[in-house]
Structure 1
Amino acid sequence: MMLALTFATAALLGADPSNLPPNHPPVPPGVSASPAAPGGALPQGHPPFAGGGDTPAPAAPGSLPAGHPPMSETGRAPPSAEELLKQLDSTEGLRTREKTFEIASSLGKLYYANGRTADSVMYFLQAEEKAVKTRALYLEQRKKLGKKPVPSAEEAQCGFAANASVEDMGKVAEERAKKGDAAGAAACARAALAPVIEVEVLRANALYLSGDMQGALTVYGRVLEVVPSHEEALFSRSAVLYETKGEDVKALQTAHEGFQAFVAMHPDSPRADLAKQLGQFAEDTAKAGGRQKWKQARAEDRRVRLSQPLPPQRPMEAMPPAQAAAGSGGMPTLTPEMVDAIQNTERTPELEAGLAKLVEEGEEHLARGRYDEALAAYRRVVPFQPENGRAKAGMAWAMVGLGRPMADRIWGVAVSSDAAAVEKLGDTLQARGDERGAKALWTKLLNSAPDYPNKANLQAKANP
């Protein structure tokens, strides 16, 4: 991308008309060029060309001019991002100069990638302006199609060249619309808008990072108007609504619906689990009538819990297997003070998200054979979520990996309480690159649960 930005910058810096003689080397910004002498002679003080005369001797094809410093085999390295930004910042009139979509978007991305989000917004806007007509055309033609799907650009035979510009692609879509080809016009317009949508998402992110939350929401909405399933815009818009509209019940419900749509459309996304949790939080907050009322309800629930006496602690032999085993190497036995502290901890969205993150970290440790680190992560989760089958499965497998004395007992508890979570842990290990660990887990599950309902599928995974 840096090389493309270099070309874009060079094009911008050389866009103005020049009064330099033909083939004159470019003059740096801020330096005045000597006017050409009458009759084509060299300006006064100009060094003579090799071989004498007023014109340079013709060079062999592909060779450098006489006296040019040698270049490396790979050619001159492009300037760094810092050098480009300094040159752009010092270029007079750059902000208002007319630009193509490609140049404006490249400048915006350069500023954005280097942390100058406020500066990037203007260039992103300039890029988007090049596709205003194409955007309106797409929405119009898609409306004409009704429930009919928009074909792909290949299916519609838009015939775009590999290096076709956004403006040129938009013209093709306009021609299709003039001929009454709604499907073809929509297909070509949508293809033309693909790079524009990328720019709009970046502009929305830049607005958010610059503190303009409402502006970010507006632009995310524009993206979803064209691409309702867009992964980044769908999640980000819902997250910003949940974060900033805590007292707006309608906005919270919109955030909940957005998170639900995200999970349905992108179930394999790394953010799918987080979207589920945030969607539930948004729904609960909306049902409570806003964040302040939700907090008040949580505080009242906590007050009620504190007013109730704790059950007497039972000896280990009288405890359920999971709790007794936890005190024998899985998780330390909880004292009344510890139980009290856990019960009185408010279950905030931040806490729930943190616990989910710990479970993910535990799974990553398991996949890398770091069983001690995995066990430490699960020990922080299980006291708060004793019914979390995913965490119990991970803790059991960590103890098996460490060869702890109570490993088989903890494993049995995990299998008997949620065998499906144990099987899914194998899928997670496999997805994270631990093929051997996944097969070992599935094999152990087969031996531990002979009546497992999904036994045939489990056998196929354990012995492919």
Structure 2
Amino acid sequence: MNLPLALATFALLSAEPPSSLPPGHPPVPPGTQVSPATPSAAQGGALPQGHPAVEGAAPSAGMPTGPLPSGHPPLSGTGKAPPSAEELLKQLDSTEGLKDREKTFEIASSLGRLYYLNGRNAEAITYLQQAESRAKPVRDVFLAQRKKLGKAPLATAEAAGCGFTPGQALESLSAVVQERAKKGDAAGAAACARAALEPSLDVGVMRANAHFLAGDSAAALVAYGAVLEVEPKHEEALFGRSALLFETKGEDLAALKQAKEGFEAVQASRPESSRAAAAKRLAGLVDETVKAGGRAKLLASRAEDRRIRLSQAPTGPAQDAPRPLTQEMVDSVKNTERTPELEQGLAKLVEEGEEHLSKGRFKEALANYTRVVPFQPDNGRAKAGMAWALVSLEREMAPRVWGVAIQTAPAAVEALGDTLKSKGDEKGAKALWRKLAADAPSFNTAGLQAKLSQ
């Protein structure tokens, strides 16, 4: 069992009502008296295992706060309340030629952030790239002047006398940087350029996250790398790239070593960070993978160890349990910062998981749900989806996870059938309802029979 699935299974089963029934016993139907489950500490939302949290998010449904930059498309008529994110997006979507218009860095980055926070990753990437293109002249000056300075430390903008003020547009910051460079002031130009580039680093991380959520891991790695080229110790980019390398380059030992170095750099530079504990744990997992010669060899070694342990264990019913998790692993999930971006990303993963289920892509669906459940073990939709994916794949853990789902969230299981049917998978919907009716005979008997007879 891989780590994300182990974490998801642990989180889901930790909410299971305690039971003294023996392993493999049929699930207790709803209505049977059981002890209440212990409330989970892992409330809130999140991204996939290892995925970096985006900080500084606006707290209100993805709406940026403060006045919009000069030249931003009008939001609403006078005398009206500010539009919701949905209304604003509709206005932007209906603005002809918006994507092709020239924009300042501030406008392009605001548009990109708005689309990103509302799960519109393709559009977000377009506008975030436009913002980064506006920052490229400053970036080019910084890299050139930094190279001239070698290993000499950079001064702060204040020490270099850049004269920047809060809210100053990138275009005017760029003019200062270019003037310093023309005068041959490499140290001053580099210091001012680095300060001017700070907002663009946030944009770069956001674009990397959007690429990841859109399923383009290669582009995400390039985007994280671009941020680290300017700021090698950027915590979020370091953690994000390392996690992605570990997830996608399991047989590339050089990439895995790079991932380990990134995790160790997060620990060293930000030991007080909420990511430090996760970085420490992941660095250990990467090191274990490297020593084994890659993920395939590591998994094969673990499988052989498990086979030997089972062969030496006393005879009796097999224990259907996930790979043991250390308390450190569990705590790292519980302590992950909950942000609006994280919650919206999780909601998107649940929707994608349901789409995968309706198309029979059960492994892909399970991968989605295992990224959600560790952070939202009480999310009924995720719980139902994960259970049905495991049942459909005939996995070892399926009976127990299905039992938890129909005991604690039978309505969500039934609703999953409605979702499958609405997406064209009537056969899958009826199979789910039949199993629910058989395993939870006291739940909505008339309703389920009516659905099955249609």
Q: What TM-score, normalized by structure 1, do the two folds share? A: 0.54
- The match for 2:292 is 288
- The match for 1:243 is 247
Say if 2:192 is the partner of 1:188: yes
CA distance in 1, matches of 2:323, 2:332: 19
Q: Which runs of 5+ in 1 are unaligned?
A: 15-25, 29-68, 311-335, 363-464
Following TM superposition, by how much is the alpha carbon of 1:93 offset from its aligned partner in structure 2, in angstroms?
Answer: 0.6
Q: How does 1:404-423 map to 2 (within 5 A)?
A: none
- The match for 2:68 is 7
- The match for 1:173 is 177
CA distance in 2, matches of 1:258, 1:144: 26
Following TM superposition, by how much is the alpha carbon of 1:134 offset from its aligned partner in structure 2, in angstroms?
Answer: 0.8
CA distance in 1, matches of 2:333, 2:257: 28
Following TM superposition, by how much is the alpha carbon of 1:4 offset from its aligned partner in structure 2, in angstroms?
Answer: 5.8
Following TM superposition, by how much is the alpha carbon of 1:95 offset from its aligned partner in structure 2, in angstroms?
Answer: 0.6
CA distance in 2, matches of 1:361, 1:108: 30
Following TM superposition, by how much is the alpha carbon of 1:360 offset from its aligned partner in structure 2, in angstroms?
Answer: 7.8
Q: How does 1:296-445 map to 2 (within 5 A)?
A: 296-308=300-312, 341=319, 346=323, 351-352=325-326, 356-357=329-330
1:357 is matched by which residue type in structure 2? V
Question: CA offsets, 1:438-457, max 9 Å, x none?
Answer: xxxxxxxxxxxxxxxxxxxx
CA distance in 2, matches of 1:3, 1:242: 33
2:283 is matched by which residue type in structure 1? G
Following TM superposition, by how much is the alpha carbon of 1:168 offset from its aligned partner in structure 2, in angstroms?
Answer: 1.3
Q: How does 1:451-462 map to 2 (within 5 A)?
A: none
Say if 2:148 is the partner of 1:88: no
CA distance in 1, matches of 2:81, 2:155: 42
Say if 2:226 is the partner of 1:222: yes
Question: CA offsets, 1:359-398, max 9 Å, x none?
Answer: 8869xxxxxxxxxxxxxxxxxxxxxxxxxxxxxxxxxxxx
Instruction: Indicate if the aligned counterparts of 1:138 and 1:189 stay in contact, CA closer than 8 A.
Output: yes
CA distance in 1, matches of 2:202, 2:333: 29
- The match for 1:420 is none
Structure 1: which 4+ aligned runs deviate by more than 3 Å? 1-8, 306-310, 344-347, 358-362
1:176 is matched by which residue type in structure 2? R
Instruction: Indicate if the aligned counterparts of 2:76 and 2:82 stay in contact, CA closer than 8 A.
Output: no
CA distance in 2, matches of 1:237, 1:127: 21
CA distance in 2, matches of 1:192, 1:279: 33
Following TM superposition, by how much is the alpha carbon of 1:356 offset from its aligned partner in structure 2, in angstroms?
Answer: 2.7
Q: How does 1:34-183 map to 2 (within 5 A)?
A: 76-183=80-187
> Judging changes above 3 Å, is the alpha-carbon distance between structure 1 residues 3 and 298 closer, same or farther for their aligned structure 2 residues?
closer
By relative contact order (CA 8 Å, sep 6+), the higher-ranking structure is: 2
- The match for 1:260 is 264
> Judging changes above 3 Å, is the alpha-carbon distance between structure 1 residues 302 and 160 closer, same or farther for their aligned structure 2 residues?
same
CA distance in 2, matches of 1:257, 1:12: 42
Question: CA offsets, 1:214-242, max 9 Å, x none?
Answer: 10010001111111111111111100011
Following TM superposition, by how much is the alpha carbon of 1:291 offset from its aligned partner in structure 2, in angstroms?
Answer: 0.9
- Other structure's SS at 2:167 match: coil
Instruction: Indicate if the aligned counterparts of 2:281 and 2:328 stay in contact, CA closer than 8 A.
Output: no
Instruction: Indicate if the aligned counterparts of 1:100 and 1:130 stay in contact, CA closer than 8 A.
Output: yes
1:266 is matched by which residue type in structure 2? R
CA distance in 1, matches of 2:157, 2:136: 19
> Judging changes above 3 Å, is the alpha-carbon distance between structure 1 residues 300 and 230 closer, same or farther for their aligned structure 2 residues?
same
- Other structure's SS at 2:68 match: helix
> Judging changes above 3 Å, is the alpha-carbon distance between structure 1 residues 274 and 11 closer, same or farther for their aligned structure 2 residues?
same
Question: CA offsets, 1:85-120, max 9 Å, x none?
Answer: 111101111010000010110101111111111110
Following TM superposition, by how much is the alpha carbon of 1:192 offset from its aligned partner in structure 2, in angstroms?
Answer: 0.8
Query: Which of 255, 272, 279 is matched with 1:275 structurally?
Result: 279
Following TM superposition, by how much is the alpha carbon of 1:133 offset from its aligned partner in structure 2, in angstroms?
Answer: 1.3
Question: CA offsets, 1:54-88, max 9 Å, x none?
Answer: xxxxxxxxxxxxxxx9x5xxxx5322211111111
Q: CA RMSD in A?
A: 2.9
Instruction: Indicate if the aligned counterparts of 2:76 and 2:83 stay in contact, CA closer than 8 A.
Output: no
Following TM superposition, by how much is the alpha carbon of 1:345 offset from its aligned partner in structure 2, in angstroms?
Answer: 6.0
Say if 2:223 is the partner of 1:207: no
Following TM superposition, by how much is the alpha carbon of 1:305 offset from its aligned partner in structure 2, in angstroms?
Answer: 2.8
Question: CA offsets, 1:282-315, max 9 Å, x none?
Answer: 11112212111111111222233334467xxxxx
Question: CA offsets, 1:308-362, max 9 Å, x none?
Answer: 467xxxxxxxxxxxxxxxxxxxxxxxxx979x959x9645xxx34x763258869
2:219 is matched by which residue type in structure 1? G
1:236 is matched by which residue type in structure 2? G
Instruction: Indicate if the aligned counterparts of 1:128 and 1:200 stay in contact, CA closer than 8 A.
Output: yes
Following TM superposition, by how much is the alpha carbon of 1:207 offset from its aligned partner in structure 2, in angstroms?
Answer: 0.4
Following TM superposition, by how much is the alpha carbon of 1:136 offset from its aligned partner in structure 2, in angstroms?
Answer: 1.1
Following TM superposition, by how much is the alpha carbon of 1:280 offset from its aligned partner in structure 2, in angstroms?
Answer: 1.0
**% same residue:** 54
> Judging changes above 3 Å, is the alpha-carbon distance between structure 1 residues 175 and 83 closer, same or farther for their aligned structure 2 residues?
same
1:145 is matched by which residue type in structure 2? L
Mark the structure with the bigger radius of gyration.
Answer: 1
- Other structure's SS at 2:197 match: helix
CA distance in 2, matches of 1:3, 1:299: 49
